[in-house]
Amino acid sequence: MAAFDGKTVLITGGGSGIGLATARQLVDAGANVVLAGRRVETIDLAAKELDPSGDRVLAVGTDVSREDELDELATRVRGRFGRLDGVFANAGMASYNPIAPRSDVSEAEFDRYVGVNFKGAFFTIQTTLPLFDDGGSVVLNSTCLVHRGMGLAMGLATMYASTKAAVASLARLLAADLASQGIRVNSVSPGFIRTDMLDELAPTDEARDVCGQLVPAGRIGTPEEVADAVTFLLSDRAAYITGQDLGVDGGLVGSLPMNTTVQQ
């Protein structure tokens, strides 16, 4: 029997990168998966790739910053699968301008970051809670920048990290709030992971090499390596783990690579 047989998991931002890698692992482990995302064509293609029959993967176009669309998402999930056993609140946005020495943040940009990264995660969980009826697991996607400040285009990267810090705090608080319902809540904090978001920050091989040199593991991570952590936290193997943040960063936060230390 596969680890997720009979279980249903919702993944926001599920059409690419870490979300898609996690969806692939969950489908392979027997789960029904709901992919939610703003780019409808992207999640539709992902759903067809994961499950050509359409029996076990449902794609729902959703902007998580809009409560009406989250309500529609919950209705679609209930109508198709009846319930949820897990949520991976993965949807997020980041925009970098690595050339300009300063990137001023407008009020509209501020509201957009908060709306997608923090408000979106909060209301995704609040809206889907009624679909949990026998415990379950929630994982929120944060970032290593919550734990280590890095100079990445002052302004916009700061907004990304700040809203993700709110997400990490939300995971700890919800772990206490939802414990009586048997729902575990944790977060993951990825480091440099080869996704579209990183490619915007580091668009050339040379730039990505610089990022890799900052990591004690000596390389950039893959979406599948973060998905391994998320799948574990969603599974029954993590039954006694809640209120935790799991760094998946190759040592970026906790260690210094040898090439940054003084050589004797």
Residue 144 covered by a domain: yes
| Whether the Cβ atoms of residue 189 and residue 246 lie closer than 8 Å to each other | yes
- What is the rounded average pLDDT for all residues in the chain? 90
Residue 258 covered by a domain: no
Please check the confidence at residue 264 and state whether its pLDDT lies above 60. Answer: no
Residue 3 covered by a domain: no
CA torsion through residues 223, 224, 227, 232, sign? negative
Q: What CATH number is given to the structural domain containing 120?
A: 3.40.50.720
Q: Is 240 a catalytic residue?
A: no
Q: How many CB atoms lie within 10 A of CB 107?
A: 7
Residue 257 covered by a domain: no
Residue 189 covered by a domain: yes
Q: What is the pTM of this model?
A: 0.91
Residue 262 banded pLDDT, cuts 50, 70, 90: very low
Residue 47 covered by a domain: yes
Please check the confidence at residue 263 and state whether its pLDDT lies above 50. Answer: no
- Condensed to tens digits (0 to 9), the pLDDT of residues 39-80 reads 999 999 999 999 999 999 999 999 999 999 999 999 999 999
Catalytic residue among 96, 113, 160, 240: 160
User: For the chain, what is the domain count?
Assistant: 1
Q: Which domain holds residue 49?
A: 8-193+222-240
Characterize the bridge pairing of strands 86-89 and 245-248. Answer: unpaired
